[in-house]
Structures are given as structure tokens and as C-alpha cells.
Amino acid sequence: MLRPAFLAPVVDLLFPPRCPLCGATLAMHGGLCAACWANLEIPGEPACALCQRPLEITLARDEAALCAPCMAQPPRHDGIAAATLYGDATRTLVLRFKHGRKVGLAGLMARLMVARLPALEGEWLVVPVPLHRWRLWQRGYNQSALLAAEIARAVGQPLLVDGLVRRKRTPSLGGLGAKARAQALSGAIAPHPRHAARLRGAQVLLVDDVLTSGATSDACVRALRRAGATRVKIACFARVLREAEGKG
């Protein structure tokens, strides 16, 4: 969140800057201490050009190298930009942001996401993964929408906060297989009828907090493609590798 610079000393006096992970004193708000920064797992190179899955150095011969899953079943999206790989530090940030009502973390998390984004040529619509209205009512906010708003502001692209709608409430996808997850999400996500004209022919940056199996993002991408979107890139704060699912 932006605030007038002249208010910073007052805010810092009333609310001393502290690391949101460990509580260590910081010089200013909006960051992590050095030790916690070091605990974040940042995607490195070489990696799959589409999903950012790490590749063996001997297998990555060029920038367009793909992992085996993407070659076997090409994704509908045009690439994933993940700020971090899911680990202990990332998990703590996500849980505090998503379930602990620490909405002030949106700025920090969005900055890390923006740093991983490729150049966005032309106009892109920034669209968050939607929540069902009952989940939104219970939580009070859509964490993906908060991230999308920060990202749209940072990259200077328009935000379409309700570009997608979740038409039915879906169960927790944790522990479900790929087929069960797809069935649970079948028909759940759709483009908002009011924005049909804006989505047709658009380039879309789809924003989510955590990308786990990809089932939810796939449902969103399918909906955007049906609406006529020409390109869909995914920006997420944390990328869960399939081999790491279920750990922690």
C-alpha cells in the first residue's frame, strides 16, 4: 500500500517496522530481514520455458527448453512467472496473508512477483483468480485480487478484478487426484458476461497466490480462451512442484 512519504516517520514510530516472518526489527516497513530473505526459494535457471520447473543443466540446451510434462501435455497458458518456490518461509507468508488477514503483505509479495515477470508488450489485462461469493464473504477479501491490484499498479496495466467469476462453490482440492480436481472445477469458473468485449482478443495476466496442481489456473485459462483471450500468462507468488505436493 502506498502512503505519503511525510507520514512514514509517524507510522514507523507508532508501528515499528518488523519482519513479518520472524519479528526482527527492520529499517523500514515492507520487507523481510536478511535471514528470512535467505530462506525464500527463488526459481533459478535453467528452468522450463513454460512452467518454470527446474531442469537438469545437461538437459537445458536453450532458453526454449521444456520439461517432460509440458512436452507430453502442452499447457493452455503462455507461461508461468513464479516469485518463489513453495517452501517453509513462503508457506508462512501465504498462510498469514491468506488466512491470517495480514493484507499488508500484498505489497511485498506483489513486488517479488513483478520482479519475475517478463516484459509485457502492448496492453495486458490483469485478472485475479476468482473466489466464490460465499468464500469471499467468509474471508472478507480475495487475496489474489489484492495481489493483482498491486501488480497492475506497478506495471501500469489495467486491472479487471471481476474478469472471471466462480459460479459454484468447490471443495478443497487438497488430496484429490488430477481427474478429481478437474471434475470438481468443471463449469465452476467462467468469464464475466459484462466484460466479454474487453476479454475478446486481449492479452491477460492471470494472478494467483499459490499454483499447486494447476487445476484452478487451467480452469481459468480455459475460461479466458473461451472468451477470446489471445494470450494468457500466469503470475503467482509461490509455485508448488508436483514432487513436493503433500509435504509440510
Range name among 120-124, 135-139, 193-197 with the lowest pLDDT average: 135-139
Number of structural domains, the chain?
A: 2
Q: Which residues are CB-contacts of 180 (< 8 A; sequence separation ≥ 6)? A: none
Residue ranges making up the domain that contains 25: 7-39
Same domain? For 138 and 99 the reply is yes
Q: Which residue has the higher pLDDT, 229 or 62?
A: 229
Same domain? For 35 and 67 the reply is no
Reading the block at residue 98, the C-alpha cell is: 491468506
In a domain, 30, yes or no: yes
In a domain, 2, yes or no: no
Same domain? For 34 and 54 the reply is no
Same domain? For 142 and 219 the reply is yes
Same domain? For 28 and 131 the reply is no
Cα separation, 111 vs 115, whole angstroms:
6
Same domain? For 189 and 156 the reply is yes
Q: How many CB atoms lie within 10 A of CB 122?
A: 8
Q: What is the CATH number of the domain that holds 186?
A: 3.40.50.2020
Contact 191, 229 (CB under 8 A): no
Same domain? For 99 and 118 the reply is yes
In a domain, 91, yes or no: yes
In a domain, 1, yes or no: no
Same domain? For 75 and 174 the reply is yes
pLDDT tens digits, one per residue of 3-54 = 554 444 444 444 578 888 888 887 667 789 999 999 999 988 888 888 888 8
Same domain? For 178 and 106 the reply is yes
Cα separation, 55 vs 106, whole angstroms:
30
Phi–psi pair at 8, nearest 5 degrees: -55, -45
Same domain? For 136 and 236 the reply is yes
- The pTM (predicted TM-score) of the whole model is 0.86
Same domain? For 55 and 12 the reply is no
Instruction: Check whether 59 has a pLDDT greater than 60.
Output: no
Same domain? For 12 and 119 the reply is no
In a domain, 158, yes or no: yes
